[in-house]
Amino acid sequence: MPHLISYIITRLAAGFVIGAATASAIIIGPLGAHELSYQHLATWLTVYGIGSSFALGYLATSLAFEAEG
């Protein structure tokens, strides 16, 4: 696999894991009694939405730091 492709996949996956963990902590923690925790589709869409945002942010940040160094 070319280095660029593996770099992008690795950074996107790492960012998504961080974002999904953050979303899960938010849903389980302060919003635990909220109705969102009882609606499975809404919960997974929230985790996916936050995770994908973190993934793109993580990729963009790592590319910016690589360009500086």
pLDDT at position 31 is 61
pLDDT at position 19 is 95
Structural domains of the chain, count: 1
pLDDT: is 1 or 60 the higher one? 60
pLDDT in tens, 14-68: 999 999 999 888 888 766 655 655 677 888 888 899 999 999 999 999 999 887 7
Its pTM stands at 0.81
Domain that holds residue 8: 3-68
Q: Provide DSSP, 1-68.
A: --HHHHHHHHHHHHHHHHHHHHHHHHHHTTTTTSGGGG-HHHHHHHHHHHHHHHHHHHHHHHHHHHHH
Of 66, 64, 55, give the one whose Cα is nearest residue 11.
55
